[in-house]
Amino acid sequence: MRLLKLEFLNFNNMEYKKTLTDYIKARYSLLVIESFEEERVVSELRQIAKEINHTLFVWNSTEGITLNGAVAGEKTNDLKLAIDFCETKAKEKDARYLFVFCDAHNYLDSKSNAVYKRRLKDFAMNIRNKGYKCNCIIICPSFEISNDLQKEITIVDFPLPDRNEVKAIVSSNITGYKNIPGVTIDVNESTLEKFVDASIGLTRLEIENCLAKAIVSDHRLDESDIKGILNEKKQIIQKTGILEFIDTQLNLNDVGGLETLKRWLELRSHCFEVEAKSFGVKPPKGVLLTGVPGCGKSLTAKCVSSAWNMPLLRLDMGKIFQGVVGSSESNMRLALKTAEAISPSILWIDEIEKGMSGANGGGGDGGTSTRVFGTLLTWMQEKTSPVFVFATANNINGLPPELLRKGRFDEIFFVDFPSKEERKKILQIHIGKLKRNLENFNLDRLAEISGEDTFGKDVVLAGAELESWVADSLIEAFSRRIEGDPTADLSMQDFETTIKRMVPMGQMRKEEFTKLRQWANENAVSASLTSKSGSAKTEEFLGGRRIDF
């Protein structure tokens, strides 16, 4: 596998600090910072407060109001009493304060006592209307925005540690372990960079826990521990329940056909290299694959990950909308933030239309789908980090038109039923995986009987159906063996027998796929050289030239 030399500077944390400071200086009265890293956020706010000459008060439900770690407000464990204390301080002459609330989200959801929401709203309005020189900042993992506070709140996402921060965290921990008797540290500069690569996308606490676990296991830290960190990283990412870390060894040769798409992807793999950046080439934004189900869209996503040597994160749109009301937007922001933190990466959004069903105004979900969709669109348009979005859709009519306009994706490809040559290639791949001798099979004949020769005009087996056909034929051969023929093995006759029992999807949904092809002819590029669909855009895409594959 070809390894890419990557050199991307992540300015997200620097931009974040400036944005947050600007919000504070502009007297945004009520800010919500969504992060699991409470301690790290408070530390960042302390630094900002010092730079702009503000005093920082911190509140939590066990200690009440504290100043520099010491209790500053007696009997302020209750949120309402804490806000009363803060407003009293805010009225002081020449007061400049940041009031940070660490557990307030537990008091402010739709099911909580309305008194807390009313009191916080009053304080926020007084900051704005009476000129208090202070800000309220709520730190929480996720925030359910109550209608009472919706217009008062500004949500700010806190980025995960960037590469420089991760390197500082890893280096600091390694230095500390060197002083522990009986612990061996074998980490040079090259190994350190590999530890950093493996740790990107984790919080400070998660990084420290991974390193501690590596030390505890054998009292040493060396390059062999990197694999363990990667495994822990996969578990941590999957623990969110929103993103799934896909580990695959497939490559583009495992995809039968789709030569136009494969060539497009191969060319863009070079766009992530240092040479491309020096040449002025920007990393590609992403691609949308739509078309017939079961024809290789999801398989291609897995293959691109291995071909480009990038982590593949699968975003489950269904899980975005799970949980309490108001958490969907937080789930989407967390997923996008994680993908950016471990970039360069591939974000695979499978069957994207299923998560956008309410974005056209008919979802009946109080506008949640529209807000989530807006978050995704804005991110796709404005993102600067090298996250390649690989989206697939079976029903193009289920997608809002805003998603399809130029600038969201670099290209839209249509994946149709495989041609005869593509069916031959797909069958060759699946029979080869069974470790059978391909010379024992007439692949041309199999390609013919899996198409119009058997099922009629414009009806052929999809890629998934071809795979199923091979599996059914193998079972047919095995049944002959258990019935008394010890030499029975997969043969042409088994394929001839099982094909008669198949009812193709293209036959059951013929009218639907005809309409889909009509749309593709004007709006998409055919993923295959030999496809009849997407022809107008494909000719424009190829620029009148034949691409040599």
Q: Which domain holds residue 169?
A: 163-239
Concatenate the DSSP letters of all residues of 460-488 into one string. ---HHHHHHHHHHHHHHHHHHHHTT-TT-
pLDDT at 45: 94
Instruction: Check pLDDT > 50 for residue 532.
Output: yes
Mean pLDDT on 283-300: 88
Taking 60 as the threshold, does the pLDDT of residue 271 lie above it? yes
Structure confidence at residue 5 (pLDDT): 33
The pLDDT tens digits of the residues spanning 54-108 come to: 999 999 999 999 999 898 878 899 999 999 999 999 999 888 999 999 999 888 8
Q: Are residues 141 and 199 in the same domain?
A: no
CATH of the domain at 453: 1.10.8.60
- Residues 168 and 152 reside in one and the same domain: no
Give 449's pLDDT tier (boundaries 50, 70, 90): very high
Q: pLDDT digit string (tens) for 111-150?
A: 788 899 999 999 999 998 998 999 999 998 877 767 777 7
Q: Which of 5-14, 401-410, 467-476 has the highest mean pLDDT?
A: 467-476
Together in a domain, 380 and 396: yes
Alpha-carbon distances, residue 541 vs 199, 262, 268, 331, 391 (angstroms):
40, 14, 15, 36, 20
Asked whether residue 176 carries a pLDDT value surpassing 50, the answer given is yes
CATH of the domain at 397: 3.40.50.300
Report the C-alpha gap between 171 and 165 in whole angstroms. 10
Residue 533 to residue 443: CA distance in whole angstroms: 25
Establish if 66 belongs to a structural domain: yes
Mean pLDDT value of segment 39-47: 92
Q: Six-digit token pair at 242?
A: 């929103």
State whether 258 and 176 are in the same domain.
no
Q: How confident is the model at residue 493 (pLDDT cuts 50, 70, 90)?
A: very high
Boundary (domain end) residue, out of 129, 157, 185: 157
Least-confidence region, from 150-164, 406-420, 473-487: 150-164
Is residue 7 one of the residues assigned to a domain? Answer: no
Q: b/e per residue, 398-432, with b = 16+ CB within 10 A?
A: bbbeebbeeebbbbbbbbbbbbbbbbbbbbbbbbe
Residue 251's CB: how many other CB atoms inside 10 A? 14
- For the record, the structure tokens of 478 come out as 């095995």
Q: Do 135 and 259 reside in the same domain of the chain? A: no
Length of the chain (residues): 549
Same-domain check for residues 150 and 216: no
Residue that wins the pLDDT comparison between 205 and 343:
205
DSSP calls for 375-426: HHHHHHHH--S-EEEEEEES-GGGS-HHHHSBTTBSEEEEE----HHHHHHH
Statement to judge: residues 180 and 277 lie in one domain: no
pLDDT at 530 over 80: no
**pLDDT exceeds 80 at position 325:** no
Q: What pLDDT, on a 0 to 100 scale, did the predictor assign at position 1?
A: 31
Is residue 32 a part of any domain in this protein?
A: yes
Q: What is the reported pLDDT for 547? A: 34
Mean per-residue pLDDT for 304-314?
85
Residue 336's pLDDT is 86
288, 402: one domain: yes
Are 203 and 130 part of one and the same domain?
Answer: no
Residue 515 within any structural domain of the chain? no
Smallest Cα–Cα separation from 46: which of 89, 9, 98, 92? 98
pLDDT at 366: 58
Calpha distance 91→293 (Å, rounded): 64
Instruction: Identify the CATH number of the domain in which residue 215 sits.
Output: 1.10.8
pLDDT at position 75:
86
Residues 409 and 475 in one domain: no
Confidence of residue 531 (pLDDT cuts 50, 70, 90): low
> Percentage of the chain surpassing pLDDT 70?
90
- Same-domain status, 432 and 379: no
Q: Which residues face 67 on adjacent strands?
A: 57, 70
Under the banding of pLDDT at 50, 70 and 90, the label for residue 317 is confident
Q: Looking at residue 11, what is its pLDDT?
A: 38
**Is residue 521 assigned to a domain?**
no
> Over 50: is that where the pLDDT of 170 sits?
yes
Write down the mean pLDDT value for the chain: 84
For the entire predicted model, the pTM comes to 0.69
Q: Give a yes or no: residue 4 inside a domain.
A: no
Q: Note the pLDDT tens digit of each residue in 354-386.
A: 766 655 555 555 567 778 888 888 888 888 788
Give the end of a domain, one of 157, 184, 202. Answer: 157
Pair (400, 283) in one structural domain: yes
Single out the residue of 159, 175, 155, 158 nearest to residue 167, CA to CA.
175
Residue 518 lies in a domain: no
Q: How far apart are CA 179 and CA 195, in angstroms?
A: 20
| pLDDT-above-90 percentage for the chain | 32
Is the model's pLDDT at 155 over the cut of 90? no
pLDDT at 306: 81
Q: pLDDT band for 533, please (50, 70, 90 cuts).
A: low
Other C-beta atoms closer than 10 Å to the C-beta of 477 total 20
CB of 72 closer than 8 Å to CB of 66: yes
Give pLDDT, residue 69: 86
Q: Give the end of a domain, one of 384, 415, 446.
A: 415
2: in domain: no
What's the total number of domains in the chain? 4
The string of pLDDT tens digits covering residues 228-256 is 887 777 777 777 678 888 888 788 888 88
Predicted confidence at residue 96, as pLDDT, reads 93
Q: Check whether 542 has a pLDDT greater than 50.
A: no
> Given this model, what pLDDT does residue 518 score?
85
